[in-house]
Amino acid sequence: MTQRDGCMRYEHIDVSRITRLADELTNDASACLRFIDDYISAWEHRQARVATAVDRVVIDDALAALLSLSTSSAMLGAQGLSLAARALYAEARLLGTIPARGADRLVRIGDAVCMELRLASAEMRAA
């Protein structure tokens, strides 16, 4: 994260996508903020679903979590996390299990995304 011209710049999220999401929600900023809050709240459960499947054969729940994570991340401008979730999904489908290194990478990116979303939503609430 950096600050330039009085505006925060984020490494893992595209704030303009959040603004577009609010516009798509008929300019309902509160609905957009609820979506962000729900996304952040769901992060721990989603990552736990993926972590539980590491090196296991039964991975259906983890695959569903990865698809959900990829879609909702893209909606919030977290393209890097969306791509990481899709890549891990594809790799898991090929291997039949969730590789630990992929799950670890997903957690690192996801934690950073959630931190940035907390900051961005705080900025939106303050505006």
Place of tokens 């900025």: 123
For residue 4, give the 3-state DSSP assignment. Answer: strand
Distance CA 106, CA 109 (A): 5
Residue 22 confidence (pLDDT) above 50 = yes
Checking 13-19 for CB contacts under 8 A at 24+ apart, the result is 13/76, 13/77, 13/78, 13/113, 13/116, 13/117, 13/120, 14/77, 14/78, 14/79, 15/77, 15/120, 16/77, 17/75, 17/76, 17/77, 18/76, 18/77, 18/120, 18/124
- Write out pLDDT tens, residues 53-77: 998 888 999 999 999 999 999 999 9
Q: What pLDDT does residue 1 have?
A: 47
Per-residue pLDDT tens over the stretch 40-59: 999 999 999 999 999 888 89
For the chain, the distance separating the N- and C-terminal CA atoms, rounded to the nearest angstrom, is 19
Higher pLDDT, residue 124 or 86: 86
Contact 81, 107 (CB under 8 A): no
Q: Decide if pLDDT at 94 tops 80.
A: yes
Q: Measured between alpha carbons, how far is 87 from 91 in angstroms, rounded to an integer?
A: 6
* Tokens 């009085």 sit on residue: 6
